Structure 1
Amino acid sequence: MIENFWKDKYPAGIPAEIDADRYPNIQSVLKESCQRFADKPAFSNLGKTLTYGELYRLSGDFAAYLQQHTDLQPGDRIAVQMPNILQYPVVVFGAMRAGLVVVNTNPLYTAREMEHQFNDAGAKALVCLANMAHLAEDVLPKTGVRHVIVTEVGDLLPPLKRLLVNSVVKYVKKMVPAYHLPGAVRLNDALAQGHGKTPREATPQAGDVAVLQYTGGTTGVAKGAMLTHRNLIANMLQCKALMGANLNEGSEILITPLPLYHIYAFTFHCMAMMLTGNHNILITNPRDLPGMVKELSRWRFTGFVGLNTLFVALCHNEDFRRLDFAPLKLTLSGGMALQLATAERWKEVTGCSICEGFGMTETSPVVSVNPFQAIQIGTIGIPVPSTLCKVVDDQGIEQPIGAIGELCVKGPQVMKGYWQRQDATDEILDAEGWLKTGDIGVIQEDGYMRIVDRKKDMILVSGFNVYPNELEDVLATLPGVLQCAAIGVPDERSGEAIKMFVVVKPGMSLTKEQVIEHMRANVTGYKMPKAVEFRDSLPTTNVGKILRRELRDEELKKLGKK
């Protein structure tokens, strides 16, 4: 049986099991860590550092505000729409301490995407960066959001620096379009109103939902994965167990370039690093490579969490290559496949090997990681403790070790299900707790696993899931489109890039520019097609379903990869 296969596959010092019930809820982990590491730095951004003690005080102020100045009740959903700034952990932990369910929202979302997510989640409150408040102004009247809290980039900085940073962002860089949100409260005012007041600490059960994390799952309709307190606690304990031997509590400095609203960074930096009392350096805009490298030069960082796209960009940056990497002992990769050439180049530049892992939003997210003391490049490592994996054929029958099939996962980090989508939950999660990943993999005799193909049509752009259904639904609303299809094609920078195929209605005309303009108005940047091809027809099944696989195979043949 697969249950017995994994027991002896862990390197010395790594337990096969964790106690997923060690803490009753995330609040208890936060309280213990913030007391234990009160004077240790927790998060730094724009030259300001919050200690764990300060994080607990400020999150308590926010919780008290929510409880005493709004009508929000435990279990209500609060959308949090911010990049990597100090306000993010303050708001998230404050909301949790007030008993609210956090709905992580991409700050780059268009109005259409925001409206869907807020309505689907039933969000009653929103905390957003002023930079996207103009979109909220358009969206909120169509939603049930009643409480809006707005923050500016520099709001938690010292007064003079706050004024300078906020003024530069607003008036020099012109990154804050004008908005009008009657009744909106400034975050600093909310913190001031809650200051000095003791929040009523929420005590949710382990099986209660802590976070609604939106994903397309194995289809293109965005759904909220219900991640419970136990799910997230289990995954933080699993991460600590697998990497703990290489991380010292309260003394590591971790670079945080991936967005905290993404489940990968959320669990690792906000959850697992909280457990170990370590220091996260928040990079607000990793696309600004010169700015990021300048920030890196200020720290003797010991850990770096990234993905293939970022590793490639940094290794091509001359100033990055000049940094002192002597303290760096842990590099983690996830979100997209790590290319061999990238891993070799990173090791050459930094002297540190990359530990690749695998995860999904539905698994909180970490399923497997390469142990730092026994890395096998080209694999996704071994399952984190208390996790079982198996591969099954198209009929769902378990296959022997070494056979290829769909990878399935079972463990305490597997989600409760999709929010208000029992049918979608039943498609991916069975009665025994096995989750279908939609990825085709193989389990080696030594316990390491490899992903060899993708069963689902999902496109992976720089670690972000993009679902063809959504793109096709959006493009179909453009007058003149008769048929359309979206696929992923290999891309050196982002792993995959989006290509769209379009059939134009008879008697009408369309240009690539019109297609791009329409998509830009309706989807966020990473969902934008890089290529558009017009055709007279698209391959379909006998019932008219477009065969994306045929289109992908054609593209691969052109590239000589099939």
Structure 2
Amino acid sequence: MTETVPKMLQEAAAKWPKIPAQYFKNEKGAFSSFTYEELFQKALDFGAGLLSLGIKREENVGLISDNRFEWLQACMGIMAIGAADVPRGCDAVEKDLAYILSFAECKTTVAENPAQVRKIIGLKTSLPDLKRIICFDDIADDLKKECKKAKVDILGFSDVMASGKAYREKHPGKVEQELDKGTGESTACIIFTSGTTGEPKGVMIRHRNFIAQLDELPERINLTPGERALCVLPVWHSFERSCEYVILIQGGAICYSKPIGSIMLADFQALNPQIIPAVPRVFEAIYEGINRAMRKTGGIVFVLYSFFTAVAVLHSRIDRVLFNTTARFKKTCPVPKWIFLTLPWLLLYPLKLLGGAIIFKKIRAKLGNAFRGGVSGGGALPPVVDNFFAAVGVKLVEGYGLTETAPVVSVRPFYRPVFGTVGSPIRGVEVRIVGEDGSVLPPGEKGVVHVRGGIVMKGYYKKPDLTARVIDKDGWFNTGDLGMLTVDGELVLRGRIKDTIVLRGGENVEPLPIEMRINESRFVFQSVVVGQDEKYLAALIVPSEEEVKAFAAEKGILYDSYEKLLKESEVQKLFETEISSLVNAKSGFRLFERINAFRLLPKAFQVGVELSAKQEIMRYKIPELYAKEMQSLFR
């Protein structure tokens, strides 16, 4: 297998020169494309442009941008000359941006637009190494003056590309020679973690870490040349990068869209893609949107939808038990389950087919007629969402990984997904579960997930002590995640060590399963469970504004503002009932895991404030951001 990511693109361009590699919206709002040959040549042009500016091998180049076709061309160009990109999205706050670009000693930074350029030059006093900025968008004269005042050179992306073409004509084969020099041990990028536990850490990912995943992932997430994948994840994140490489090595096309319901569904119709990789929240939003639309339709349609969905979910669960496609922690005799479950399976099957013909067929049609499945990663997929998509006949597989593992450790394959798990480790990767005493635990016992293999990072940038803490002498990386293995070798996750809430009574509580359960309510948009060092658990809840207002209209509740509506006794009682009906003994929660108090928040959690770029709760920020609310919860 090839050694580096740019060499992988070079091989793909040789195999499929005329096949589209990137789809993007042009100025008229219609989709245009670049072929593999065009993408590869543009990457070489940008790499050559960087060489003309004096950028050298092993230099770090900042790359601050959201999803757009230029990002991949720039990234590939940076890696082609042996430099490493230091990526981040446009939502990066000034504090993090100053830390990342200064700590990585970036002399050159690529920025998406004038707003990002101004953000960066505003931090110039904290960025002593910064010499130049390359902007994807056009540069106005006033911005050029601002950069000159800050003593930073400003260049347009198109100008660098033009310089690169001229450089290649003057120095034929030079940029290709630099590409050939690359090895698997070379650093491809330094991705700073999103800081869910504090100060960002620079994860050094080698080319061989990315390439190691490409041995088996195409077998599990398969495409054929010319097929399309709709991409809505933050392009700088390791999950999206890995997805794009899986697409490119198979000759597929990366189709850029946005995780906004109306835009994404319209792009589905326009592009008719085969797969979509996304964070769980995207699939939750699709699920909630379908339910909301059905409730608004009402009448017999909603009754039939609810009935057939319940039937299909039940049949799917029975099917998984019968055919061993659900998590198993011990082997049992198959005879009893076939005796007791065969008849219900047979009786429900015609009803499931009928539901598919009159209800679910219309849902699947919204995803086009070529859709193969979704890939969920970057967070825990709620079981209710997982079960729903399986029941309606839409394939959705869940994967697991970390930035430190480039990132894919495991993923369910399209051809045989095992529910309740994140799949078995990919080829060449080992996973073990370690107990508190350091012993390796057998299947079914919960402990800390350790990973070893070619996917494990080089280390944390300029932090060897921190690297030594998480990677032992035998190469095992301590993920900090809690999990267990099934008897069939799949991995099941159970939360994170640092997320664990310890109550005053000494009880250890994993908040994520409780939050996922609360979030099943159609009235709940977001939730976070709190209670560290307290007597009981409580929750901060962001309601679904649309659903709460619909409830108020139905009940005839008058209100002056949404904030006042949330304080109405009937609304408070509604949420009290919802929470108690979801988190109780019947649903498997122990007494100390139940929610004793809650506070409704009028404003949704935001990326960069309460949420990381992957839309995970940055729990360490909650006590500070909601000090007043938490004081009232535990008064």
Which of structures 1 and 2 has the bigger CA Rg?
2
Equivalent residue number for residue 504 of structure 1: none
Maintained 8 Å contact 1:388/1:409: yes
Question: Which residue of 502, 515, 519 maps to 1:490?
Answer: 515
**Cα drift, residue 401 of structure 1:** 2.4
Pairs aligned (count): 456
User: Alpha-carbon deviations, 1:437-490, whole Å to 9, x = none?
Assistant: 11111111111111123212399xxxxxxxxxxxxxxxxxxxxxxxxxxx9882
Equivalent residue number for residue 442 of structure 1: 484
Paired with 1:28 and 1:254, the residues of 2 have a C-alpha distance of 22
Check if 1:79 corresponds to 2:62.
Answer: yes
Identity %, equivalent residues: 23
Which stretches in structure 1 are left out of the alignment for 5+ residues? 1-21, 156-165, 171-175, 460-486, 502-511, 539-550, 556-562
**Cα drift, residue 43 of structure 1:** 1.1
C-alpha change, 1:309 and 1:42, in structure 2 (3 Å) is same
Maintained 8 Å contact 1:149/1:184: yes
State the one-letter code of the partner of 1:368: S
Q: Which has more strand, going by share of residues?
A: 1
C-alpha change, 1:177 and 1:188, in structure 2 (3 Å) is closer
Equivalent residue number for residue 198 of structure 2: 220
Equivalent residue number for residue 148 of structure 1: 133
Paired with 2:380 and 2:612, the residues of 1 have a C-alpha distance of 22
3-state SS in 2 of match to 1:298:
helix
Check if 1:188 corresponds to 2:158.
Answer: yes
C-alpha change, 1:516 and 1:346, in structure 2 (3 Å) is closer
**Cα drift, residue 276 of structure 1:** 1.0
Maintained 8 Å contact 1:364/1:414: yes
Equivalent residue number for residue 389 of structure 1: 431
**Cα drift, residue 302 of structure 1:** 0.8
Report matched runs for 1:421-432 at 5 Å.
421-432=463-474
Maintained 8 Å contact 1:380/1:449: yes
Maintained 8 Å contact 1:365/1:413: yes
Equivalent residue number for residue 407 of structure 2: 365
Report matched runs for 1:118-157 at 5 Å.
118-130=101-113, 131-143=115-127, 144-152=129-137
Maintained 8 Å contact 1:339/1:378: no
Deviates more, 1:103-112 or 1:393-402: 393-402
**Cα drift, residue 89 of structure 1:** 0.6
Paired with 2:531 and 2:45, the residues of 1 have a C-alpha distance of 48
Report matched runs for 1:469-488 at 5 Å.
none
Check if 1:247 corresponds to 2:259.
Answer: no
Paired with 1:496 and 1:222, the residues of 2 have a C-alpha distance of 24
Question: Which residue of 275, 279, 299 maps to 2:253?
Answer: 279
Paired with 2:227 and 2:217, the residues of 1 have a C-alpha distance of 15
Equivalent residue number for residue 234 of structure 2: 259
Paired with 1:226 and 1:383, the residues of 2 have a C-alpha distance of 22
**Cα drift, residue 189 of structure 1:** 1.2
Check if 1:93 corresponds to 2:59.
Answer: no
Equivalent residue number for residue 404 of structure 1: 446
Equivalent residue number for residue 27 of structure 1: 6
C-alpha change, 1:52 and 1:62, in structure 2 (3 Å) is same
Equivalent residue number for residue 210 of structure 1: 188
**Cα drift, residue 396 of structure 1:** 2.0
**Cα drift, residue 347 of structure 1:** 3.7
Maintained 8 Å contact 1:301/1:328: yes
Which stretches in structure 2 are left out of the alignment for 5+ residues? 26-30, 169-173, 294-361, 502-510, 533-599
Q: Which has more helix, going by share of residues?
A: 2
Maintained 8 Å contact 2:22/2:33: yes
C-alpha change, 1:48 and 1:101, in structure 2 (3 Å) is same
Paired with 2:390 and 2:108, the residues of 1 have a C-alpha distance of 45
Deviates more, 1:97-106 or 1:529-538: 529-538
State the one-letter code of the partner of 2:246: A
Instruction: Select the structure with the greater relative contact order (CA < 8 A; seq sep ≥ 6).
Output: 1
C-alpha change, 1:521 and 1:388, in structure 2 (3 Å) is closer
State the one-letter code of the partner of 1:210: A
User: Alpha-carbon deviations, 1:78-134, whole Å to 9, x = none?
Assistant: 111111111011100011112210111121111111001111211121101113222
C-alpha change, 1:533 and 1:121, in structure 2 (3 Å) is same
Paired with 1:521 and 1:343, the residues of 2 have a C-alpha distance of 28
3-state SS in 2 of match to 1:399:
coil
**Cα drift, residue 218 of structure 1:** 8.7
TM-score (ref. length: structure 2): 0.65
**CA-atom RMSD in angstroms:** 3.6
Paired with 1:84 and 1:371, the residues of 2 have a C-alpha distance of 26
C-alpha change, 1:440 and 1:262, in structure 2 (3 Å) is same
C-alpha change, 1:395 and 1:122, in structure 2 (3 Å) is farther
Maintained 8 Å contact 1:338/1:378: no
3-state SS in 1 of match to 2:216:
helix
C-alpha change, 1:523 and 1:118, in structure 2 (3 Å) is farther
3-state SS in 2 of match to 1:34:
helix
**Cα drift, residue 260 of structure 1:** 1.2
Check if 1:356 corresponds to 2:398.
Answer: yes
Maintained 8 Å contact 2:247/2:253: yes
C-alpha change, 1:419 and 1:340, in structure 2 (3 Å) is same
C-alpha change, 1:238 and 1:73, in structure 2 (3 Å) is same
3-state SS in 1 of match to 2:378:
coil
Equivalent residue number for residue 326 of structure 1: 369
Equivalent residue number for residue 628 of structure 2: 534
Question: Which residue of 166, 189, 212 maps to 1:234?
Answer: 212
3-state SS in 1 of match to 2:375:
strand
User: Alpha-carbon deviations, 1:124-176, whole Å to 9, x = none?
Assistant: 21101113222112113421121210112xx7xxxxxxxxxx9xxx9xxxxx9
Check if 1:40 corresponds to 2:19.
Answer: yes
Maintained 8 Å contact 1:218/1:456: no
TM-score (ref. length: structure 1): 0.74
Q: Which runs of 4+ in 1 moved over 6 A?
A: 176-179, 498-501, 519-525, 535-538
C-alpha change, 1:524 and 1:490, in structure 2 (3 Å) is closer
Paired with 2:630 and 2:387, the residues of 1 have a C-alpha distance of 44
Maintained 8 Å contact 2:6/2:80: yes
Maintained 8 Å contact 1:309/1:494: no
C-alpha change, 1:313 and 1:535, in structure 2 (3 Å) is closer
C-alpha change, 1:43 and 1:433, in structure 2 (3 Å) is same
C-alpha change, 1:456 and 1:275, in structure 2 (3 Å) is same
3-state SS in 2 of match to 1:181:
helix
**Cα drift, residue 37 of structure 1:** 1.3
Question: Which residue of 293, 296, 313 maps to 2:268?
Answer: 296
**Cα drift, residue 366 of structure 1:** 0.3
Paired with 2:282 and 2:604, the residues of 1 have a C-alpha distance of 25
Deviates more, 1:526-535 or 1:332-341: 526-535
State the one-letter code of the partner of 1:58: K
Maintained 8 Å contact 2:96/2:200: no
3-state SS in 2 of match to 1:452:
strand
